Amino acid sequence: MEKTSRKLTIKYALLQSTYWISQCTIYSFAAIYLQYRNFNNTQIGIVLSLSAILSIILQPVVSAFADKSKKKTVRNIILILLLIAFASAILLNIKANSLLFIGCVFAIITAIQFTINPLLNSYALEYINKGYPFNYGLARGTGSIAFAITSFFLGHGVSRFSGAIIVPFFLISYVFLFLSASFFRLKDTDKEAANLSKNHRIEDISDENENPPSTILGFFIKYKRFTLMLVGITMLFYAHSLINTYLINIMENVGGDSSDMGLSLTIAAALELPTMAAFAYIIKKLRCHTIIKTASFFFLMKSLFIWLAPNVNIVHLSQAFQMLSFALFTPASVYYVNSIINKEDRNKGQAMMGVATIGLSGTIAYITGGNLLDTRDPSYMLLMGFIVSIVGFIIVCFSTEKSKI
């Protein structure tokens, strides 16, 4: 049993690590890459909002297909999406003179990246719900460490060599991501060793009477309170998206550069590991709905502190809130969806959470953030993020329903 658990956790940790290396490269350094390709802040906001809009469309469609399909597993869907993104990234190196071409291709790549994230969660839950021992929090925290290391070295690399290194680095990371996704499965001997232990199962609310999957519209009607919660989460993640996307502008506003940006991302990501690794213990003491409300409060605090930050060091310090906001929310939201959403709709549930945390919040943040930077300044942009976060926090507190775990 322990051997099987260790194997599965290591394999999933490798999958999460390679994903977050690629995500750090193409998303966290998106503004730097697009600036390198002569995009201004408003144009960067348009490109990233286009990618978010595409992901809003793509995530529910792909998740609905995954819920209905009996032949295509989540793993196969992930592999197909990875191949499309890889081929698209190659095009950026072949023809990269037209801003329209660069923007469209870049939007497709990042939209696929956004779509893969909730699928990785669904993939893990396929194993957890079947009873295989699995430490999701530790594996996801390992991905955060990989993100942290990538942020640090890529930040220094960009500072030394320019944004030209971003796409080649992304392509290399994608080769390893594809291999990790290919190898994430158990052999028959491992399945037998696991014995489908019920002690490791997440409580399943609909094993016995599984209904047909809901349509996308039917999903929102069926889970009204969850839908309202998604609105609040979108507003909370608005400031989070502003900070992550325009961190280079925030840093430059307080006297920093791309190396400082890389270090700041490293600090935030590194602080995620202790919380995520300890999540298996935390969830035994607190239920998911309580954890989500707590994390929401610290999202609010982070947006406040980074808005008030007068220098680079205080921006770095504000990233400490990451361990009690994003690091708590990420695993808790996965378990929360698995607890309150019926089995036949869980892929859609994870996808909708992805739409809220990345798609909708990102779309609004990219458009308004780029425009605010070109017309006002980073401080004003962060103030708007903080105000929206206050409203989001209130909505989340009142709409989050009690979970069984």
Three-state SS letters, 331-392: HHHHHHHHHHCCHHHHHHHHHHHHHHHHHHHHHHHHHHHHHHHHHCCHHHHHHHHHHHHHHH
pLDDT higher than threshold 80 for residue 94: no
Average pLDDT over residues 342-363: 88
Average pLDDT over residues 161-182: 93
CATH topology classification for 2-186+215-399: Growth Hormone; Chain: A; (1.20.1250)
pLDDT tens digits for 207-242?
445 677 888 889 999 999 999 999 999 999 999 999
pLDDT tens digits for 232-290?
999 999 999 999 888 989 999 999 988 898 899 889 988 999 999 899 899 989 999 99
157 contact partners, CB below 8 Å, separation of at least 6? 165, 169
Average pLDDT over residues 139-165: 89
127 contact partners, CB below 8 Å, separation of at least 6? 8, 134, 186
